[in-house]
A and B are shown apart, each in its own frame.
Chain A
């Protein structure tokens, strides 16, 4: 039995006196679809950053395919199999859609300057290979017709899809999507749901999604975690989460609970 693609074990992120993430744990199996929700500032993106190497966990371990990656630089972790998109789209804005994806295709390789400068056979082969792969990923995300378009000129929804295509091109075992539906209309969100599932089906990778839109995240997740002020207050299937009073309180406040006469257990409160 091989190691799970991603294992986050009791990770805590502390910034000076501020605890942004407390004792966060999550193990993902290949092909799993997991949702991560919570009010603003709950620590969701912090969790992403801790996993992808932007931050080094203050405590705890992150293991990718069984290998501990704490303290590695983001590009190393990417090569080991974790890819991500960003809350505020971070495309290579002046580059074409094709170039955005091609860059990700070559993830991990630093050498090769010699080949590029002297136009060796290896260089030409690799360039052709990368071009083919990049075009494939663009096609999978329905962006083949935008290949030579400068990415900042793309409509918003397509930019988000391009970011996903780019992340996919790194060949990850785990894909972390940070609010992929933000800014989309209802129809686009439905398409996105289908797209995420089809990515999982086609590539067999585990997908972790941060989302605010409940319908999107409940529609795509097989299980969910809820964060509030850095603490995991709930973990389970979407239907369970939906009914969980602690989750409701975290999002809507205790006034709502009182109004609905819902009792909340005292311990484990996130305040």
Chain B
């Protein structure tokens, strides 16, 4: 039983991260009908942004002779997280504006390839040897870095399940962000505009919606969420390197497809379901197949129910 609960906790923990990243995929696909291959790398940049900001802000080890006060820690952790979200939001803006917007009228294959190009650019760009060395090393280079502990880690045990305050905080922050996004998408004018654009960009434009601006902000939001996910993840799993966004990105994408690409609640549900599935299958069988699980889920979904859990399958009019 404890094993079951342990997997549940782990699954939720990793699932919420997938969900946050999946939201970016799904929102962008919703408004642009484009699979943003580079999104996983934005997640990676988020983690690194956090890493650099932490250095700049002077995050000191929570342990040690002169540990920081609780207040200072929280302030710095928030600064780092919000800062990273801003940076990634900016990155999302730049990518959309310069790589995707010019190609909006072209066939989708072109944008897909560009997305791959942007993804490579980020991955390999970050693997270059540092050009700037101070105050931070940029690009970080291929060697993994260790993400600092933003707050002190306190292990907990509940019902025989071992977790930590990281898991609790991470989960709470993720849920908060998702609720916030739900609010934005369904209760604000911006959200309505976004949904209108996802149904029909042309008509939305004719109705007076500033389509370009909506799309840009969609990117910004999605990227910011990915950054938050990156930091939450990096705190628990501190080894970060330029290529680690790749596999997480693909899994988050699978989560988005599972939930129904284009559907915001779908991404959230899909992420959690995938996280749980991964945990349980890897836990009870051979864990070396962990990565293949995501792909298997993907293929099953696409073959059995391509629209996903919440998705709508549009029929082409002949």
Q: Is A92 an interface residue (CB 8 A)?
A: no
Docked Cα-Cα span, A171 to B318, in Å, equals 22
Point out the residues of chain A lying under 8 angstroms from B318, CB to CB.
45, 49, 54, 86
Interface 0/1 of B210-254, CB less than 8 Å to A: 000000000000000000000000000000000000000000000
Determine chain B's interface SS by DSSP, over half rule. Answer: loop
Point out the residues of chain B lying under 8 angstroms from A45, CB to CB.
318
Give the residue name and chain of the B residue nearest to A178 (CB).
Answer: B318
Docked Cα-Cα span, A172 to B124, in Å, equals 57
CB distance from B285 to the nearest CB of A (A): 39
Docked Cα-Cα span, A173 to B97, in Å, equals 54
CB distance from A254 to the nearest CB of B (A): 30
For chain A, give the interface size range: under 10
Docked Cα-Cα span, A86 to B318, in Å, equals 8
Q: How many A-B residue pairs have CB under 8 A?
A: 4
CB distance from B140 to the nearest CB of A (A): 46
Docked Cα-Cα span, A45 to B318, in Å, equals 8
Give the residue name and chain of the B residue nearest to A48 (CB).
Answer: B318
User: 8 Å CB contacts to B: which residues of A42-56?
Assistant: 45, 49, 54
Interface 0/1 of A46-68, CB less than 8 Å to B: 00010000100000000000000
Point out the residues of chain B lying under 8 angstroms from A49, CB to CB.
318
Interface 0/1 of B298-318, CB less than 8 Å to A: 000000000000000000001
Give the residue name and chain of the A residue nearest to B318 (CB).
Answer: A54
Interface 0/1 of A15-55, CB less than 8 Å to B: 00000000000000000000000000000010001000010
CB distance from B5 to the nearest CB of A (A): 42
CB distance from A53 to the nearest CB of B (A): 11
Give the residue name and chain of the A residue nearest to B316 (CB).
Answer: A54
CB distance from B250 to the nearest CB of A (A): 33
Docked Cα-Cα span, A49 to B318, in Å, equals 8
CB distance from A178 to the nearest CB of B (A): 9
Give the residue name and chain of the B residue nearest to A49 (CB).
Answer: B318
CB distance from A85 to the nearest CB of B (A): 12
CB distance from A196 to the nearest CB of B (A): 22
Docked Cα-Cα span, A54 to B318, in Å, equals 8
Give the residue name and chain of the A residue nearest to B317 (CB).
Answer: A45
Give the residue name and chain of the B residue nearest to A84 (CB).
Answer: B318
Give the residue name and chain of the A residue nearest to B315 (CB).
Answer: A15
Docked Cα-Cα span, A34 to B318, in Å, equals 22
CB distance from A75 to the nearest CB of B (A): 14
CB distance from B312 to the nearest CB of A (A): 11
User: 8 Å CB contacts to A: which residues of B274-318?
Assistant: 318
Interface 0/1 of A125-165, CB less than 8 Å to B: 00000000000000000000000000000000000000000
CB distance from A231 to the nearest CB of B (A): 21
Give the residue name and chain of the B residue nearest to A54 (CB).
Answer: B318
Point out the residues of chain B lying under 8 angstroms from A86, CB to CB.
318
Docked Cα-Cα span, A49 to B315, in Å, equals 13
Interface 0/1 of A80-103, CB less than 8 Å to B: 000000100000000000000000
CB distance from B196 to the nearest CB of A (A): 22
Docked Cα-Cα span, A45 to B317, in Å, equals 10
CB distance from A121 to the nearest CB of B (A): 39
CB distance from B109 to the nearest CB of A (A): 15
Give the residue name and chain of the B residue nearest to A86 (CB).
Answer: B318
CB distance from B315 to the nearest CB of A (A): 8
Interface 0/1 of B96-123, CB less than 8 Å to A: 0000000000000000000000000000
CB distance from A18 to the nearest CB of B (A): 12
CB distance from B120 to the nearest CB of A (A): 30
CB distance from A8 to the nearest CB of B (A): 18
Docked Cα-Cα span, A263 to B318, in Å, equals 38
Docked Cα-Cα span, A176 to B72, in Å, equals 77
Docked Cα-Cα span, A147 to B318, in Å, equals 27
A sample of 4 inter-chain contacts (CB < 8 A) reads A45-B318, A49-B318, A54-B318, A86-B318
Binding site for A on B (CB under 8 A): 318
| 4 shortest interchain CB distances as A-B pairs | A54-B318, A49-B318, A86-B318, A45-B318
